[in-house]
Chains A and B, each alone.
Chain A
């Protein structure tokens, strides 16, 4: 049993899916990154500025306040300065403005001290609970949750009622000791998610001590979360201190905003025509609170990149290079392509500017054809699929910045969402990578099938049920599972159910994004056979994305090898396996063993794909290529047409 007893937040908080390798991750970073992120965030700046003002007031009250806050002055001073009694006086003739200025110090000190104490406790409890695990984690988590839900303020009042005038030191201790639980919870779950990361594993293998790992490996990565937890605790302390002072349970003789409110209320300032007596300190509490709240809000955005909106700056998108004459696309069977993609470009907005993830891709899919797209992760293959299916754009990252997607005589890129909806699922459906995440966890399979049917047809309830059973049978799932929730099915069944759902209307084209990658080898194989069988029986075309070339070798008609957002090679599948022409295709083929062929050393490809924010000049594969020549890096390499294949390599120039 999970030790966290509150709700399901932990398992629900899966990281947002995005183009992970290309979008720079900010917020996990160290102080430098953090500082840059703050200075760019308007809310953070506003909050910091407010806080700075109060810090100045707290440090130099004597220089700023016009009067002695305690002096009772009923007659105007001989030469009153312009801001003398600007806010009026209290019932006993003390200057309100001066009291407010002097009150800053105590209010701020209590907030910061209690915030610091609470944060220290949160870090100690949260991190050690997660890091120690087991029973220690269980006990610490229950204590955290109990303190979290017990209403703290009444408890503080009870304590204060027994210990009247216990002093402000006591107040800080109590506020700190009771305000740490929320931060501890968050730090715990963050630490848990870090625990298995590589850099910690490596520290453990190096034999570092636990304390060292916690202090120097874990804590620095959580800087922004710790800061957020401090801000939350400080905000809480400001409000609680003011509340306690207000009801007279603090120290009425101290000089703070809360005490001012206490005296104002006791003297019925609002009725007695001295509203500023009550309003001014309240405004200060609200402003200081707002400063903490704004900073907290901003840190939320900084520590979870998903919350920030990045706008694609089109002016910074690199221009398409003047393409050399395009080779004629590969001939496709006679009855015309079902899909034709021309010059498709997709960009992601990142903090470092736009990144072109799909660069000028052309392809065609014939009716009933099986086209496989292969490449390493981060080469842009999934992005290409989502661009074709028009699934990019707000709220998801990525934007089509050029090209056409012709499907059924229409350019999908230009269609409005409303018009797109008519094409979706009836004619073009999608099967996603991980069925666990792609099926709505709170609806049954039947509900999700019904949603699709209702959106595109006038089928009756009974017809929908019938059709749903039928498609489940198509993928060999017993229809008794129709009314199950996704989590009640096995991984393989979920994947099949999703394929069944994609076939509800027997579309012309099914786009599949690594539908088998979550399955074991045997299940992969049988699912592939089944997909191929269904395709031949029902006649739909498939675009199938995978990083595993061997998986599709027996099923696909053609293969498209993608590298760094571009087409590297496109060939008939047999042709490509027999004669890979691009050095990258050769490398991919050498990366897995042939079952029947002679024993050869597996070579693989040295290095890793380029950073698409700064793609290498000329051929993008050149830095990893064994056949690199000076002209490779001199200019962009066009696609050459060789024997019905397209190859982006200077080596085939002579064959072309």
Chain B
């Protein structure tokens, strides 16, 4: 229980740090560029929405920093992130929730697959150390993990979409075809559009999981309890999974939490290259359009998503490791 509470506390501290950073950045920048943006708003939106924006970006200095900060926190708490400029007059929350499902489906599922697959490959290659699998996969994926995500995305577009014409160039679905709906045609089309971006993320992110799991397993294999399991005459299968794997995956879950930010960063660029209608693409669009409210709302969304995934990894740790469940 202590463990879960501690992690929950960490979650809140980190979220607070992100929210505060978000609040401070526009104020710390010389010649607040949000000023120019605000000028464009006057007379276009209702006064309360305008006020929320002013508070968020510190445009009018009629109030103290502290009271601005608390009104900002209050607005956040009620889900008021302001109004998007790009998609005026949509509230930012509306745009964020439109992009979120795409990103969760693409990056969320790809990351989980990459983690599971990488962990499996890492476990097996450590177990059969020096075998052909161990000799081939870890070195290859160590090198691919150094590839820039966006470059691999460009390359795969060039090869599979332009040269070979197997898969669609970009987008999340065929905008000229079916409408967004839960029909087979649409889902199939969306899946087809997700193949290249998903493979790009998979190939670049899997190396990290393979390597950490492999190294963890190698050190777990020298533990006395693995030696003991061998002395007990257990089947190799049982030793690999329940004695080596179960213990080696615990630090790997921690590693998952720590590398997630890196994966998400790469995935943002992948969405950008593929014009994939997710959070990352919208984030970069908002940067380009100087749509600061949308940009900062999306930034918070990204942080929240990463932190939630980390919390999930912690919960899994608590389930898999009985030591974290007891008060110590």
- A binding-site residues for B, Cβ under 8 Å: 1, 5-9, 12-14, 16-18, 43, 142, 145-146, 148-155, 157-163, 182, 235-236, 239-240, 242-243, 246-249, 261, 265, 270-271, 275, 278-279, 282, 285-286, 289-290, 292-294, 297, 300, 304, 306-307, 309, 386, 389, 391, 394-396, 417, 420-426, 429-430, 432-434, 437-444, 451-452, 455-456, 485, 487-488, 501
Interface flag for B119 (CB, 8 Å): no
Is the Cβ of A456 less than 8 Å from the Cβ of B233?
yes
Per the bound structure, the CA–CA distance linking A154 and B266 in Å amounts to 10
- B binding-site residues for A, Cβ under 8 Å: 2, 6-7, 9-10, 13-14, 17-18, 21-22, 25-26, 29, 33, 126, 129-130, 139, 142-143, 145-151, 154-155, 157-158, 162, 211, 215, 218-219, 221-225, 227-236, 238, 242-243, 246-247, 250-251, 253-254, 257-258, 260-262, 264-266, 268-269, 272-273, 283-284, 287-288, 290, 292, 295-296, 299, 302-303, 306-307, 310, 314, 317, 320-324, 326
Q: Which residue of B lies closest to A428 (CB)?
A: B231
Kindly provide the distance from the CB of A518 to the nearest chain B CB, expressed in whole angstroms. 12
> Could you show 12 A-B contacts with beta carbons less than 8 Å apart?
A7-B251, A9-B251, A145-B14, A159-B25, A242-B151, A282-B154, A386-B227, A421-B233, A421-B234, A438-B224, A452-B234, A487-B322
Chain A neighbourhood of B146, CB < 8 A: 235, 239, 286, 289-290, 292-293
Per the bound structure, the CA–CA distance linking A319 and B230 in Å amounts to 31
Chain B neighbourhood of A424, CB < 8 A: 230-233
Kindly provide the distance from the CB of B267 to the nearest chain A CB, expressed in whole angstroms. 10
Q: Which residue of A lies closest to B17 (CB)?
A: A146
Q: Which residue of B lies closest to A283 (CB)?
A: B151
Chain A neighbourhood of B317, CB < 8 A: 7-8
Is the Cβ of A162 less than 8 Å from the Cβ of B26?
yes
Per the bound structure, the CA–CA distance linking A455 and B243 in Å amounts to 14
Apart from A246-B150, A443-B246, what 7 extra A-B contacts exist at CB < 8 Å?
A8-B323, A8-B324, A17-B223, A146-B10, A155-B299, A286-B147, A440-B243
Is the Cβ of A246 less than 8 Å from the Cβ of B261?
no
Is the Cβ of A157 less than 8 Å from the Cβ of B287?
yes
Is the Cβ of B162 less than 8 Å from the Cβ of A270?
yes
Per the bound structure, the CA–CA distance linking A422 and B224 in Å amounts to 21
Secondary structure class of chain A's binding surface, majority of residues: helix
Chain A neighbourhood of B126, CB < 8 A: 395
Chain B neighbourhood of A438, CB < 8 A: 224-225, 227-228
Per the bound structure, the CA–CA distance linking A442 and B247 in Å amounts to 7
Q: Which residue of B lies closest to A487 (CB)?
A: B323
Is the Cβ of B148 less than 8 Å from the Cβ of A12?
no
Kindly provide the distance from the CB of B280 to the nearest chain A CB, expressed in whole angstroms. 8
Is the Cβ of B158 less than 8 Å from the Cβ of A441?
no
Kindly provide the distance from the CB of A550 to the nearest chain B CB, expressed in whole angstroms. 26
Chain B neighbourhood of A6, CB < 8 A: 10, 254, 257-258
Given the interface pairs A243-B150, A247-B269, the reply to whether A157 lies near B283 with Cβ below 8 Å is: yes
Chain B neighbourhood of A439, CB < 8 A: 225, 228
Is the Cβ of A451 less than 8 Å from the Cβ of B232?
yes
Per the bound structure, the CA–CA distance linking A159 and B299 in Å amounts to 11
Contact of B295 among A161, A289, A389 (CB under 8 A): A161
Is the Cβ of B17 less than 8 Å from the Cβ of A246?
no
Chain A neighbourhood of B29, CB < 8 A: 162-163
With a 10 A CB-CB cut-off, give which of A142, A289, A307, A442 has the most chain B CB atoms.
A442
Chain B neighbourhood of A391, CB < 8 A: 227, 230-231
Per the bound structure, the CA–CA distance linking A12 and B143 in Å amounts to 28
Is the Cβ of B254 less than 8 Å from the Cβ of A151?
no
Contact of A5 among B7, B130, B223, B253 (CB under 8 A): B7
Chain B neighbourhood of A18, CB < 8 A: 222
